[in-house]
């Protein structure tokens, strides 16, 4: 059995996949501003918060934007995204997600969520799993986005567990870097060729075995 006291999960790409909804909302916004947006560009937004993503998109625009205009654009994107995720349900849980959460709980470990999404609470409610977590970081209170360690350190502190006693689970390069910077063990979800900083990589939570880490 592992010596961890808590497991802190990312949300998008780990427990559920809202990436398609984000993609549609960002693509609509980008193209309204004359910026070409495709799946390759979208990869740059993985693990990046809303304003950071917006800045990456607007860097390709010939226009200049005031902060007020940027906030309005970010709000417009978010409204469209919220409309899209309103259709989510437990059927949108990724394979292995419920079993992984159950295994962590059965082992007596605490469970945290460290997502940069300001809609994380809404998504958890739609999935029907909000009560599975001992603590969910409120992304609105986080000053520094991943790869900064703030969000994972916040989760650990709020769970009352030292960072070195935490296992962090992420699918994005920036997220894995955040976990490592926080001094935690990093379990990557995806490809080992991409998530090179992770201590271990599995293809999905279907392969999650707490005793292996």
The catalytic residues are: 10, 12
Rounded CA separation 46/126 (Å): 22
Q: Tell me how far CA of residue 73 lies from CA of 31, 58, 84, 134, in angstroms.
A: 12, 10, 17, 33
Asked if residue 50 lies in contact with residue 142, where contact means CB atoms within 8 angstroms, the answer is no
Rounded CA separation 89/182 (Å): 32
- DSSP letter string, 132-198: G-SEE--GGG-SS-TTSTHHHHHHHHHHT--GGGEEEEESSHHHHHHHHHTT-EEEEES-TTT-TTS
Q: Can you list the alpha helix ranges (DSSP code H) found in 7-119?
A: 19-32, 39-42, 50-58, 67-85, 97-106
Strands 200-202, 6-9: pairing is unpaired
């Amino acid at each position: 059995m592992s010596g961890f006291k808590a497991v802190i999960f990312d949300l998008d790409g780990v427990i559920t996949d809202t990436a398609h909804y984000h993609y549609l909302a960002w693509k609509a916004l980008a193209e309204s501003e004359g910026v070409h947006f495709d799946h390759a560009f979208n990869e740059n937004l993985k693990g990046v918060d809303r304003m950071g993503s917006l800045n990456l998109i607007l860097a390709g625009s010939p226009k200049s934007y005031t902060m007020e205009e940027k906030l309005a654009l970010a709000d417009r994107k978010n409204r469209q995204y919220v409309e899209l995720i309103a259709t989510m349900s437990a059927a949108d849980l990724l394979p292995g997600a419920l079993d992984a959460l159950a295994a962590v709980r059965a082992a007596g470990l605490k469970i945290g969520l460290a997502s940069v999404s300001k809609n994380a609470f809404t998504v958890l409610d739609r999935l029907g799993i909000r009560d599975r977590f001992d603590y969910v970081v409120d992304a609105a209170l986080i000053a520094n986005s991943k790869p900064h360690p703030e969000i994972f350190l916040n989760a650990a502190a709020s769970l009352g567990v030292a960072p070195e006693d935490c296992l962090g689970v992420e699918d994005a390069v920036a997220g894995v870097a955040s976990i490592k910077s926080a001094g935690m063990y990093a379990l990557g979800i995806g490809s080992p060729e991409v998530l090179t900083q992770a201590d271990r990589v599995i293809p999905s939570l279907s392969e999650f075995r707490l005793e292996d880490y």
